[in-house]
Amino acid sequence: MKTGLIIEIARALMFARVKQTLVAAVGVTFSITMFVSLLGFMNGLNSLLDGLVLNRTPHVRFYNQIKPNPNQPIDQSVLLGGDFNVIRSIKPSNSRLAIYNSESIIKTLSNDERVKGISTKVSAQVFYNVGSIDLTGMVNGIDPEKESELFAFSDYVTTGNPLDLNQTNSVILGKGVADRMLADIGDVVQVTTAQGNRLQLKVVGYYQSGLAEYDNVNSFASISTVQKMLGESNSYLTDIQVKLWDFNEAPMFANDFRDIFNIEADDIQTVNAQFETGSDIRSLISYAVGITLLVVSGFGIYNILNMMIYEKLDTIAILKATGFNGTDVKWIFITIALSIGFFGGGLGLIFGYFTCLGIDQIPFETEALPTIKTFPVDYSLKYYTIGGVFSIITTYFAGYLPARKASAIDPVDIIRGK
């Protein structure tokens, strides 16, 4: 039978029951709209929450870790070296926090094709001196340009310019630190290192990450300022932070160089495993809810087509009596289902996009995230593709079962019954 004739008959049957057809199409439209908007909003929220930590976390971090010396004197003893010795309260060895031969390490890492960029850091534990009170904290010596390029540092500087750190003895305070010290822009604050060195720093900005525990402790200065604060040379570095083109290669990259450099190497997957787990669970819930909506709309189409077949038994009998076979009848009702899927799914994708635009305009202001002004939305094309494909698949199977039932109807039984 000609395809054009099947389409024409399907169109006539749909318009004969236009209200039922519209109800089915509205169900698909609503499902696709909610599917796209839900996934766009939930994944936008995931990106925001993960970005609070993952954007600032290097894919691989190289550093020296203070740990007890594994070579204890008793194990070197001729008399007791072969015994099983239990030693309690072992103190760390007199090792250095600074990375030895850092220039060669940076040069070697830079030559690796997997590396997108490298940023160095000097961390110093300090006391913020507020009158007679000392507040514990951390001053991180960074290269502001590299940190902004690789780890979005400038996105979290709510007041001031990150490049002002290049000025001598300047600091960007964590917002929590600044609030506790009542320090304004332009004020001079005094910090004392664990070694007893004191330095006065000028406040040139505030940093707010959205994580209160982090902002209550951490501040930022230039690498040279922190080296000066510690009384160390220009080669003193405590961290080498690496960003890769593909962060999934971080565990392998860390393993490759950990033993070569004989220093500790942490990869982003190990350090932030809990964040990835939370993000995956939220995404799974979003997909589950969205697909459930599509399946529910599929049952609506299934019921409507079942009723249409029951009401159009005479029409089916006439079609078969005039030369249409079971396959032709089946494709007529599948065409009806697919038409509902195409029409309802297409409108759903359009409405879903505009719903996302509406969500994106809703004000979302919180002191914890001053750089975020509206609710986050992800406009990734994959959500629209998944929604469109599922609308066709769902409506096809919703129409296939009634269509198969219609194709098996015997016209003689129907005419005899009449």
What pLDDT, on a 0 to 100 scale, did the predictor assign at position 351? 92
Name the more confident of 219 and 210.
219
Split at pLDDT 50, 70, 90, the class of 353 is very high
Q: Is the pLDDT of residue 299 over 80?
A: no
What pLDDT, on a 0 to 100 scale, did the predictor assign at position 172? 92
User: Can you tell me the mean pLDDT for 106-118?
Assistant: 88
- Which residue's entry shows tokens 């979302």? 364
- Which two three-digit tokens encode residue 224? 């040279």
Q: How far is Cα of residue 38 from the mean position of the Cα atoms in its chain? A: 15
What pLDDT, on a 0 to 100 scale, did the predictor assign at position 263? 84
- Contact predicate 268/59, CB 8 Å: yes
In whole angstroms, how far apart are CA 272 and each of 52, 288, 368?
12, 25, 21
Name the more confident of 182 and 95.
182
User: Can you tell me the mean pLDDT for 43-54?
Assistant: 74
User: Can you tell me the mean pLDDT for 61-88?
Assistant: 69
Among 37-51, 72-86, 208-222, 324-338, name the most confident range: 208-222
Query: Which regions of 185-260 does DSSP assign to beta strands (E)?
Result: 188-193, 198-207, 218-222, 239-244
In this predicted model, what pLDDT tens digit does every residue of 238-252 receive, in sequence order? 888 999 888 788 888
| CA dist., res. 231 & res. 124, Å (int) | 11
In whole angstroms, how far apart are CA 180 and each of 123, 174, 200?
21, 10, 17
Q: Is the pLDDT of residue 8 over 70?
A: yes
- Which two three-digit tokens encode residue 130? 């507020």
Give me the phi and psi of 60, to 5 degrees please.
-140, 135
What pLDDT, on a 0 to 100 scale, did the predictor assign at position 187? 87
Cα of first residue to Cα of last residue in the chain, in angstroms, is 27
User: Can you tell me the mean pLDDT for 344-356?
Assistant: 90
Q: Is the pLDDT of residue 253 over 80?
A: yes
Q: At 86, is the secondary structure helix, strand, or coil?
A: coil
- Contact predicate 383/356, CB 8 Å: no
What pLDDT, on a 0 to 100 scale, did the predictor assign at position 354? 93
What pLDDT, on a 0 to 100 scale, did the predictor assign at position 276? 61
Measured torsion, CA atoms of residues 84, 86, 87, 88, in degrees rounded to the nearest 10: 170
Split at pLDDT 50, 70, 90, the class of 147 is confident
What pLDDT, on a 0 to 100 scale, did the predictor assign at position 220? 92
Domain ranges of the chain: 3-54+275-417, 60-67+97-269
Q: Is the pLDDT of residue 355 over 60?
A: yes
Q: Is the pLDDT of residue 330 over 60?
A: yes
- Which two three-digit tokens encode residue 316? 């089916």
Mean model confidence pLDDT for the chain: 80
pTM of the model: 0.64
Split at pLDDT 50, 70, 90, the class of 418 is low
Q: Is the pLDDT of residue 51 over 80?
A: no
- Contact predicate 96/122, CB 8 Å: no
133-142/188-193 β-pairing:
unpaired
239-244/264-267 β-pairing:
unpaired
